[in-house]
Structure 1
Amino acid sequence: MHNSEEEKLTHRSTKEKDKLVTRLKRIEGQVRGIQNMIENDRYCVDILTQISAINSAMNNVGLHLLENHTRHCVSDAIKDGNGEEAIQELMDVFKRFSKSQ
C-alpha cells in the first residue's frame, strides 16, 4: 500500500519488530496449514476453527499496533501541537479496524 502523500514511518525497536514478525510468520504458517487442510479435504469445522484462530491472532497484532500507535505516535503529536490531526487519524483507524472485526 503506497500513499500518494508523504510516506510516514514509525521507529520500532528491534525487539518490537522481531516480536511482530514472529507473530506474523506464525499466522502465515497457519494460513498455509489451512491450504493443506482444504487440499486434503479436511472437515469443514476443523478448517473454520483454524480460520477463527487466525482471525484472533491478526486482531491481536492489530490491537498491539493500535496501542503502540496511541502511546507513541498520537501522544507525541499531541505534545508537538498536532493533536487534532493525530486524533482524527486514530479515529479513522478505529473505524476501519472495527469494520474488520
Structure 2
Amino acid sequence: MSDDSSQTHPLYATDRDEVDALLGHQGDPGPEHLTTAGRLFMRYGDFPGAEDIKQDLGKVISSWGLDRSGLNTKCREIWSSGWRPGQKLDAEVGSGADVDDRDS
C-alpha cells in the first residue's frame, strides 16, 4: 500500500502563474510582490503537495535576500503602514478638494 498523500490545491493554476511572475520579476520587490509571496507561503506552507511552488517561493525570497522570517517581518510592516493590494505607494490620495485653486 503506497502512502501518496500529495494533493493538488484548487488554486494551483492561478498560484503557479503568480509564482512564475515573481520568479521573472527584475529589481527590488515592491509591496505587491512581498505580500503575494507571503500569502502564498501561508497557503502552501503546510499543504501536502505543490512542492514545486514551495521550492520556487523559496528561490524567490532567497533572491531578494530574505528568509521566511524576514519576509514575514516585511509583510507585517507593509500591512501596518495601511497599504492594501492594488494601492500605489506614491499615488496621491484624496479628491483634490483641499488643493489651493488660485488663478495666476
Where relative contact order (Cα < 8 A, 6+ residues apart) is larger, the structure is: 2
Q: Same fold (TM over 0.5)?
A: no
The TM-score with structure 2 as length reference comes to 0.34
Q: Which structure shows the bigger proportion of residues in helix conformation?
A: 1
User: In terms of Rg, which structure is larger?
Assistant: 2
The TM-score with structure 1 as length reference comes to 0.35
